[in-house]
C-alpha cells in the first residue's frame, strides 16, 4: 500500500483524535489596524466542514504540531510537481517547505481540479492553493493580532511563528493559533470544476520579488521510496479477500466472443469465467491462476471484418477517407490568392503513425463494490473523473464512490489505466468481491488508447525577392480523442461499450502553435472517421502533448524547408518571422548555447560513413516557449540515427523549482526522441500487431543522448506555464532538420527508422 | 502442486504452488513483496529483475521450482535507507525515477553488472543495459547515476 494515500484517507480521523472534546472557539477579531467594515468574524471550529471548493478548510489545514497539509486535486507523476505545489503553499504561509505535505488525488480530501492534464499542474492547479495559503496566513495573523493584542501591521511570520516587531517577548505559533482545528471560513469559488477551478480570497498573494521558497531547487519526496521499494505503486494495492482478474479481449480487431468453453479452464481450481454481454474476464484467488486461466481459456471469436487498412496504406487511407469535420483555427489575408500569384511555391507532406502510451507496466486497479458504497484504487491521472465514470457505469451516486489515486506504472495521458478502473468496478459488482485487475503486456500495448496517425500538408508562396507571401498548413488525421481524455463517461470505456453503451466518438485535432507573422496565413485541420466504431483497439485519446509532436514534426520541418528555399539560416529565418520577443529570445538562447553556426545551401562533403548534422525547431505550447537544437549522427551503412546532443532553451514564465524543471524537460525530450526514432503501432487489416516491446520498440539506453543542455529562462514577471509537455513537440522536427543538415535529404515520415533512413539515402 | 524452499533477502521461505509458476508471482502474490514489478511477463523489460545467487535474472519467466534451495535477493534486500547500496545512493542523489516502475530493473541489473565490471566505460554500460526499458525517458539521469555509483564504489 502507498502510505501517503492511506494517511490521507485517514487524516480526518487523526484530526478528530487530536481535537478531543473541544468545542468550537469563536474569535471576533476586533479589526485591529483595519477599517471596521473589514472586521472579520473568524470561527475556529473543531469540526471540518464537508469538502467543498468554497471552504478554506478544503484546501489547507494546520495540524496540531504546526505542519501544513495542502489538498491538491491534481497528481504528480514523478516530475517534482508535488514539491512545487508544496513550495508555493509554504511561500504564502511563511513556513519552511519541509513542514508542508501535499495530499493528492483522493476524492475524499481533494477537490476535482482535473487531475493531471495538459501540463497545467502549476499553471492552473496551483492557483487555488496559492490563494488558500495566502488566505490562511491572513486569518492566522488576525487571530495572532487578537491573541497578542497588537495590530496586524506589527506582526511578522517566520517558520510558522508569528512575532511582534520590537517586542521579542510576544510570539505565537500557527499550531497554537489553530493547530488541529479548522478555519470555518468561506472563499469565493468560481463555480467551475476541473482545470479552471479557482477561488478568490480577501488576502493578497505575495509579489514574486519577495519569494524565498519558490525558485529553490528542492529535492523530491518520492525518489527514495521508489529506489528502496519501501512503498508500493498501484500494482501493489492488496485488499483482503480480493480476487485477481484478467480481462480477455479479442485478438481480432472488432470481433466478439461467440463461444466460451468453460471446460477449457476446469484444470485450474479456483478460476472461473465472468461473461456479461460482450465483457469477458477470468477471476481467481491466486494471481497465477488468473493468468493461466486467461491464457488457457478457449474462446471462439466471430469472423474478422478486416476493419483496418493495410499497414503500408495507412496514410493513403487518411488522404482518401471522407472528412467528418474541418476546422480553420487561423485564417488571415488571402492565402489562395498568394499561392496563385507567387513567383514560386513550396509544398510538402509529412506523415505520422499511430503511437501507444505503452506504459512501463500494464495498468492495474482494485475496486470494492459494497451495498453502501464503492472504493476504487486507481492509477489513472484523473481520479475524480474515474470516480464519476465508475458511478455512471454502476448507476450509483458519485458521492458513494471513493476514488484513491495511487501512482501508476507510467502515465502520459489517458492510457489503459482508465479501462482497468472501470473493469475492476464492473467485476467487483458482478462477483460481489473486491477485485484486482491487471493487464498483461498485450493489454497495455495493443489495447492502449492510441495517439492518432496523421498526414500534414504544408504550402507556401514565395515572391521574387524570397519573401514568404502565403502560408497554408492543414492536418488531416484521425481524431485526437475518439474517447475523452478523462474517464467520467462509461461510453468512452471498453467495458461500457462491451456492455452495450453507444460510443460517443469525439472529433477534434489541432494546429501549430508559433508566432510566425506571415502576411497571408491559414492553419486548419480535417478529421476522418474512426476505423472501428465500438470497443476499438485503435481508439484514440490524449498522449503526452496531444498531437503536438505530429503537428510540429511537420510544421517546423516545413519552416526549415522554407529557410533553405529562401537561402536563409534556419535560426535567422525563425527569429525574423517569429513575432513575439520571448520567442525570439528562446531561439537565440538555444542557438547561443549550442554554438550554432549558420547553415546554408553550400555544397558539403557527405561521403563519410558517419554523417553529422544539426537542426533546430521551436514552438509555443499554452504560453510556454521552447526551442531545441539537435545534433545527430547518421550511420550511412546501418541507417541508425543517434541523437547525440540536445540543447534546450525553455521559457515557462516564473520558475518554481529549477532542478525539477530540468529533469522534467530531460524526460520529455528523451521520450519524444523515442517517438520520433522508434515508435509506430503496427497492424494488419484484422488485428493490431504491436503487442509488446519487440513489436512496439522504444528507445534503449544505447540510444540515449550523451548530453542534454538545458537553458532555463526565468521570467518572474510572467505567470508560470506548463513544462511537462512543451519540449516533446519540438524534438521530432529538430531531429528531422538535423537529418537534412547531415544528409542533404528530407525524411518526412515518422518514425525515422533505419529502414526509412536507408530508403531515402539509397 | 509442489513445495519449493528457497531464501529471499536472507529469510527462508517455502512456496506451495504450480512448479511452473514464475518466481515473480511467488514474490508478489504469495510473499506480498512490492518489488520486483510486473512489466511484460516476457523478459523484455527487466522490471522483475532479482538476484539469484548474485546474478541478475528475470523473475517473470523463471519457474519457481528453478530456485529451489537458492538465494534470491530483491531490491529490498540489496540495500535499505539505513544501509543503502551505492547504486541506490546514486539513484537517489541523481533523482532518477519518475514513475519508478522500471527502477527495480535498472538498480538490480546495474548492481550485478558493476560488481563484475566496476570500470565499465560509458559505451559498455549502454550496451550491457540496453535490454532494460524506461518509458518516462530518464535514461540520461540513469547514466549519470551509474557513473556516480562507479565513483562511490571505487
Residue A346 belongs to a domain: no
pLDDT tens digits, B129-146 = 999 999 999 999 999 999
Whether A502 and A413 map to the same domain: the answer is: no
Q: Is the dihedral of CA A174, A177, A179, A183 positive or negative?
A: negative
Please state the separation of Cα A369 from the chain's center in Å: 29
* Orientation of helix A726-743 relative to helix A754-761, angle to 10°: 30
Contacts of A287 in chain B (CB under 8 A): 25, 28-29
Whether A324 and A176 map to the same domain: the answer is: no
Greatest pairwise CA separation for chain B in angstroms: 47
Residue A422 belongs to a domain: yes
Q: What is the DSSP string of A190-207?
A: -S--STT--EE-SSPPPP
Whether A140 and A163 map to the same domain: the answer is: yes
Q: How far apart are the first and last CA of chain A?
A: 55
How far is the C-alpha of A546 from the C-alpha of A673, rounded, in Å? 16
Q: Which of B51, B77, B103 is the last residue of a domain?
A: B77
Cell of B11: 529469510
Whether A523 and A637 map to the same domain: the answer is: no
pLDDT tens digits, A84-97 = 999 999 999 999 99
User: What domain range includes position A177?
Assistant: 3-221
Whether B67 and B95 map to the same domain: the answer is: no
pLDDT tens digits, A112-158 = 999 999 999 999 999 999 999 999 999 999 999 999 999 999 999 99
Mean of pLDDT over chain A:
94
Write down the pLDDT at residue A10. Answer: 35
pLDDT surpassing 50 at residue B88? yes
Whether B9 and B73 map to the same domain: the answer is: yes
Write down the pLDDT at residue A29. Answer: 36
pLDDT tens digits, A681-694 = 999 999 999 999 99
Looking at residues A338-364, what average pLDDT do you find?
98
Out of B18, B34, B88, whose CB is closest to A227?
Answer: B88
How far is the C-alpha of A601 from the C-alpha of A741, rounded, in Å? 10
Whether B49 and B110 map to the same domain: the answer is: no
Burial of A75 (0-12, 13-18, 19+ CB in 10 A): buried
CATH code for the domain in which residue A626 is found: 3.30.365.10
Whether B10 and B58 map to the same domain: the answer is: yes
Write down the pLDDT at residue A1. Answer: 36
Q: Which of A164, A199, A221 is the last residue of a domain?
A: A221
Per the CB < 8 A criterion, the answer to whether A54 and A199 are in contact is yes
CATH code for the domain in which residue B22 is found: 3.10.20.30
pLDDT surpassing 70 at residue A22? no
The set of residues, in sequence order, having a beta carbon less than 8 Å from that of A586 and lying 6+ positions away, is A618, A625, A626, A627, A649, A650, A651, A713
Q: Which of B77, B101, B126 is the last residue of a domain?
A: B77
Which residues does residue A155 pair with via DSSP β-bridges, in sequence order?
A164
Nearest CA in chain A to B19: A288
- Residue A175 φ/ψ, nearest 5 degrees: -60, -40
Whether B6 and B68 map to the same domain: the answer is: yes
Beta strands A25-28; A41-44: pairing state:
antiparallel
Whether A638 and A662 map to the same domain: the answer is: yes
pLDDT surpassing 50 at residue B18? yes
Per the CB < 8 A criterion, the answer to whether A113 and A197 are in contact is yes
Whether A419 and A557 map to the same domain: the answer is: no
Cell of A668: 520529455
Per the CB < 8 A criterion, the answer to whether A384 and B77 are in contact is no
Percent of chain A with pLDDT over 90: 93
Chain A residues 635-654 with CB within 8 Å of chain B: none
Whether A132 and A257 map to the same domain: the answer is: no
Neighbouring C-alpha atoms within 13 Å toward the C-beta of A528: 19
Whether B73 and B13 map to the same domain: the answer is: yes
Candidates B78, B101, B125, B149, partner chain A, best to mutate (most A CBs within 10 A) = B101
Per the CB < 8 A criterion, the answer to whether A620 and A177 are in contact is no
Q: How many contacts does A have with B, using Cβ atoms within 8 A? A: 177
- Does the distance separating the beta carbons of A228 and B25 come in below 8 Å? no
Q: How far is A223 from chain B (nearest CA, A)?
A: 6
Nearest CA in chain A to B80: A228
Q: Peptide bond preceding A751: is omega within 30 degrees of 0, i.e. cis?
A: yes
User: What domain range includes position B114?
Assistant: 86-153
User: Number of structural domains, chain B?
Assistant: 2
- Residue environment code for A119-153, b if the CB has 16+ CB neighbours within 10 A, otherwise e: bbbbbbbbbbbbbbbbbbbbbbbbbbbbebebebe
| Three-state SS annotation for A491-554 | HHCHHHHHCCCCCCCCCCCCCCCCCECCCCEEEEEEEECCCCCCCCCCCECCECCCCHHHHHHH
How far is the C-alpha of B30 from the C-alpha of A615, rounded, in Å? 53
Whether A166 and A290 map to the same domain: the answer is: no
Whether B36 and B64 map to the same domain: the answer is: yes
Q: Which of A474, A498, A528 is the last residue of a domain?
A: A528
Per the CB < 8 A criterion, the answer to whether A345 and A460 are in contact is yes
How far is the C-alpha of A202 from the C-alpha of A199, rounded, in Å? 10
User: Number of structural domains, chain A?
Assistant: 4
Helix (H) or strand (E) holding A634: strand A624-635
Q: Which of A498, A528, A558 is the last residue of a domain?
A: A528
Whether A317 and A379 map to the same domain: the answer is: no
Q: Pick A38 or A517 by higher pLDDT.
A: A517
- Residue A459 φ/ψ, nearest 5 degrees: -135, 145
Residue A166 belongs to a domain: yes
Whether A274 and A321 map to the same domain: the answer is: no
Per the CB < 8 A criterion, the answer to whether A84 and A76 are in contact is no
Whether B94 and B32 map to the same domain: the answer is: no
pLDDT surpassing 80 at residue A5? no
Residue A534 belongs to a domain: no
Whether B73 and B90 map to the same domain: the answer is: no
Contacts of A409 in chain B (CB under 8 A): 37, 39, 99, 101
Looking at residues A63-68, what average pLDDT do you find?
98
Whether B60 and B111 map to the same domain: the answer is: no
- Residue B134 φ/ψ, nearest 5 degrees: -140, 125
Chain A residues 275-294 with CB within 8 Å of chain B: 286-288, 291-292
- Look at residue B109 and give its three-state secondary structure: helix
Percent of chain B with pLDDT over 90: 100
Per the CB < 8 A criterion, the answer to whether A461 and A401 are in contact is no
- Residue A61 φ/ψ, nearest 5 degrees: -140, 145
- Look at residue A722 and give its three-state secondary structure: coil
Residue A541 belongs to a domain: no
Neighbours of A329 (CB within 10 A): 13
How far is the C-alpha of B154 from the C-alpha of B149, rounded, in Å? 8
Looking at residues B25-44, what average pLDDT do you find?
97
How far is the C-alpha of A131 from the C-alpha of A220, rounded, in Å? 23
- Residue A332 φ/ψ, nearest 5 degrees: -135, 145
pLDDT tens digits, A636-668 = 999 999 999 999 999 999 999 999 999 999 999
- Look at residue A615 and give its three-state secondary structure: strand
Rg over CA atoms, chain A: 28
- Does the distance separating the beta carbons of A441 and B39 come in below 8 Å? yes
Burial of B11 (0-12, 13-18, 19+ CB in 10 A): exposed
The set of residues, in sequence order, having a beta carbon less than 8 Å from that of A88 and lying 6+ positions away, is A122, A126, A129, A130, A133, A214, A656
CATH code for the domain in which residue B147 is found: 1.10.150.120
Residue A540 belongs to a domain: no
Query: ipTM of this predicted complex?
Result: 0.98
pLDDT tens digits, A536-588 = 999 999 999 999 999 999 999 999 999 999 999 999 999 999 999 999 999 99
Helix (H) or strand (E) holding A62: strand A60-62
Looking at residues A614-640, what average pLDDT do you find?
98
- Does the distance separating the beta carbons of A705 and B25 come in below 8 Å? no
Q: How far is A405 from chain B (nearest CA, A)?
A: 14
Burial of A330 (0-12, 13-18, 19+ CB in 10 A): exposed
Q: Which of B77, B111, B131 is the last residue of a domain?
A: B77
Whether A278 and A420 map to the same domain: the answer is: yes
Short-list A50, A49, A105, CA closest to A73? A105
Per the CB < 8 A criterion, the answer to whether B86 and B143 are in contact is no
- Is A669 in CB contact (< 8 Å) with chain B? yes
Write down the pLDDT at residue A42. Answer: 62
Whether A465 and A610 map to the same domain: the answer is: no
Q: Cell numbers 487498412 correspond to what residue? A: A309
Looking at residues A374-389, what average pLDDT do you find?
98
Whether B103 and B131 map to the same domain: the answer is: yes
Contacts of A440 in chain B (CB under 8 A): 41
Write down the pLDDT at residue A43. Answer: 72
Q: Cell numbers 536472507 correspond to what residue? A: B10
- Does the distance separating the beta carbons of A702 and B135 come in below 8 Å? no
- Is A562 in CB contact (< 8 Å) with chain B? no
pLDDT tens digits, A486-545 = 999 999 999 999 999 999 989 999 999 999 999 999 999 999 999 998 999 999 999 999
- Residue environment code for B44-58, b if the CB has 16+ CB neighbours within 10 A, otherwise e: bbbbbbbbbeeebbb
Whether B65 and B98 map to the same domain: the answer is: no
Amino acid at each position: 500500500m502507498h502510505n501517503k494515500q492511506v494517511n490521507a484517507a485517514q487524516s480526518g480521523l487523526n484530526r478528530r483524535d487530536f481535537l478531543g472534546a473541544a468545542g468550537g472557539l469563536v474569535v471576533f477579531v476586533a479589526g485591529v489596524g483595519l477599517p471596521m467594515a473589514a472586521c472579520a468574524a473568524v470561527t475556529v471550529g473543531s469540526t471540518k466542514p464537508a469538502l467543498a471548493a468554497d471552504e478554506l478548510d478544503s484546501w489547507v489545514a494546520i495540524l496540531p504540531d504546526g505542519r501544513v497539509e495542502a489538498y491538491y486535486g491534481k497528481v504528480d507523476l514523478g516530475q517534482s510537481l508535488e514539491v512545487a505545489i508544496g513550495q508555493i503553499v509554504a511561500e504564502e504561509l511563511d513556513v519552511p517547505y519541509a513542514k508542508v505535505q501535499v495530499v493528492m488525488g483522493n476524492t475524499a480530501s481533494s477537490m476535482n481540479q482535473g487531475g493531471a492534464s495538459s501540463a497545467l499542474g502549476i499553471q492552473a492547479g496551483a492557483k487555488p492553493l496559492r490563494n488558500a495559503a495566502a488566505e490562511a496566513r491572513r486569518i492566522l495573523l488576525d487571530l495572532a493580532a487578537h491573541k497578542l493584542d497588537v495590530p496586524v501591521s506589527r506582526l511578522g511570520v517566520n517558520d510558522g511563528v508569528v512575532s511582534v516587531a520590537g517586542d521579542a517577548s510576544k510570539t505565537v505559533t500557527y499550531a497554537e493559533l489553530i493547530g488541529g482545528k479548522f478555519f470555518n471560513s468561506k472563499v469565493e469559488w468560481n463555480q467551475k470544476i476541473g482545470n479552471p477551478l479557482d477561488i478568490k480570497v480577501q488576502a493578497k498573494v505575495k509579489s514574486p520579488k519577495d519569494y524565498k521558497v519558490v525558485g529553490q531547487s528542492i529535492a523530491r519526496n518520492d525518489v527514495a521510496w521508489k529506489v528502496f521499494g519501501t512503498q508500493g505503486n498501484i500494482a501493489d494495492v492488496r485488499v483482503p479477500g480480493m480476487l485477481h482478474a484478467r480481462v480477455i479481449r479479442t485478438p481480432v480487431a472488432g470481433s466478439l466472443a461467440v463461444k466460451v468453453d468453460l471446460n477449457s479452464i476446469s484444470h485450474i481450481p479456483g478460476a472461473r469465467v465472468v461473461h456479461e454481454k460482450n465483457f469477458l474476464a477470468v477471476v481467481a484467488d491466486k494471481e497465477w491462476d488468473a493468468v493461466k486461466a486467461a491464457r488457457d481459456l478457449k474462446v471462439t471469436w466471430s469472423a474478422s471484418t478486416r476493419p483496418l487498412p493495410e499497414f503500408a496504406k495507412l496514410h493513403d487511407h487518411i488522404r482518401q477517407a471522407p472528412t467528418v469535420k474541418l476546422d480553420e483555427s487561423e485564417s488571415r489575408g488571402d492565402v489562395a490568392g498568394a499561392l496563385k500569384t507567387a513567383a514560386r511555391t513550396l509544398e510538402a507532406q509529412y506523415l505520422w503513425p499511430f503511437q501507444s502510451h505503452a506504459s512501463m507496466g500494464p495498468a492495474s486497479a482494485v475496486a470494492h463494490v459494497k451495498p453502501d458504497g464503492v472504493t476504487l484504487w486507481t492509477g489513472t491521472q484523473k481520479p475524480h473523473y474515474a470516480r464519476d465514470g465508475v458511478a455512471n457505469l454502476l448507476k450509483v451516486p458519485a458521492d458513494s464512490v471513493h476514488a484513491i489515486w495511487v501512482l501508476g506504472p507510467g502515465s502520459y495521458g489517458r492510457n489503459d489505466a482508465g479501462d482497468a478502473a472501470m473493469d475492476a468496478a464492473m467485476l467487483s459488482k458482478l462477483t460481489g468481491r473486491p477485485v484486482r485487475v491487471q493487464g498483461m503486456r498485450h493489454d497495455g500495448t495493443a489495447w492502449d488508447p492510441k495517439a492518432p496517425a496523421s498526414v500534414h500538408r504544408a504550402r507556401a508562396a514565395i515572391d521574387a525577392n524570397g519573401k514568404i507571401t502565403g502560408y497554408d498548413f492543414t492536418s488531416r488525421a484521425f481524431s485526437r480523442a475518439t474517447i475523452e481524455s478523462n474517464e467520467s463517461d462509461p461510453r468512452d470505456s471498453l467495458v461500457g461499450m462491451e456492455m452495450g453503451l453507444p460510443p460517443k466518438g469525439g472529433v477534434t485535432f489541432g494546429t501549430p502553435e508559433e508566432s510566425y507573422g506571415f502576411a497571408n496565413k491559414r492553419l486548419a485541420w480535417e478529421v476522418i472517421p474512426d476505423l472501428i466504431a465500438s470497443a476499438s483497439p485503435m481508439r484514440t485519446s490524449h498522449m503526452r502533448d496531444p498531437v503536438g509532436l505530429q503537428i510540429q514534426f511537420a510544421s517546423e520541418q516545413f519552416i526549415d524547408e522554407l529557410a533553405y528555399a529562401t537561402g536563409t539560416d534556419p535560426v535567422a529565418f525563425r527569429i525574423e518571422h517569429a513575432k513575439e520577443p520571448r520567442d525570439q529570445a528562446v531561439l537565440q538562447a538555444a542557438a547561443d548555447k549550442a554554438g550554432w553556426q549558420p547553415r546554408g545551401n553550400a555544397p558539403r562533403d557527405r561521403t563519410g560513413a558517419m554523417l553529422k548534422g544539426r537542426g533546430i525547431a521551436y514552438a509555443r505550447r499554452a504560453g510556454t516557449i521552447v526551442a531545441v537544437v539537435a545534433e545527430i549522427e547518421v550511420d550511412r551503412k546501418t541507417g541508425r540515427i543517434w541523437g547525440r546532443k540536445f540543447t534546450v532553451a525553455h521559457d515557462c514564465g516564473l520558475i518554481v523549482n529549477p532542478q525539477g524543471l530540468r529533469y522534467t524537460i530531460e524526460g520529455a525530450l528523451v521520450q519524444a526522441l523515442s517517438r520520433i526514432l522508434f515508435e509506430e503501432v503496427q497492424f494488419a487489416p484484422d488485428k493490431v500487431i504491436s503487442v509488446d516491446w519487440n513489436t512496439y520498440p522504444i528507445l534503449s539506453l544505447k540510444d540515449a543522448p550523451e548530453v542534454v543542455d538545458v537553458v532555463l529562462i526565468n521570467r518572474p514577471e510572467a505567470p508560470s506555464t506548463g513544462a511537462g509537455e512543451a519540449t516533446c513537440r519540438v524534438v521530432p522536427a529538430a531531429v528531422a532538420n538535423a537529418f537534412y543538415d547531415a544528409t542533404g535529404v528530407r525524411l518526412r515520415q515518422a518514425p525515422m527508422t533505419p529502414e526509412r533512413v536507408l530508403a531515402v539515402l539509397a | 502442486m509442489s513445495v519449493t524452499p528457497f531464501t529471499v533477502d536472507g529469510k527462508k521461505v517455502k512456496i506451495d504452488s504450480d512448479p511452473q509458476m514464475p518466481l515473480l508471482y511467488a514474490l508478489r502474490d504469495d510473499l506480498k513483496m512490492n518489488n520486483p514489478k510486473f512489466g511484460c511477463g516476457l523478459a523484455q523489460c527487466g522490471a522483475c529483475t532479482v538476484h539469484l545467487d548474485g546474478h541478475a535474472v528475470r523473475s517473470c519467466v523463471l519457474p519457481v521450482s528453478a530456485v529451489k534451495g537458492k538465494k534470491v535477493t530483491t531490491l529490498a534486500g540489496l540495500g535499505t535507507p539505513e544501509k543503502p547500496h551505492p547504486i541506490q545512493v546514486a539513484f537517489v542523489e541523481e533523482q532518477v525515477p519518475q514513475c519508478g516502475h522500471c527502477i527495480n530493473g535498472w538498480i538490480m541489473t546495474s548492481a550485478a553488472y558493476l560488481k563484475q565490471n566496476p570500470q565499465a566505460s560509458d559505451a559498455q554500460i549502454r550496451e550491457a543495459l540496453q535490454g532494460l526499458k524506461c518509458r518516462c525517458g530518464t535514461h540520461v539521469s540513469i547514466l549519470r547515476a551509474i557513473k556516480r555509483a562507479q565513483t562511490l564504489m571505487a
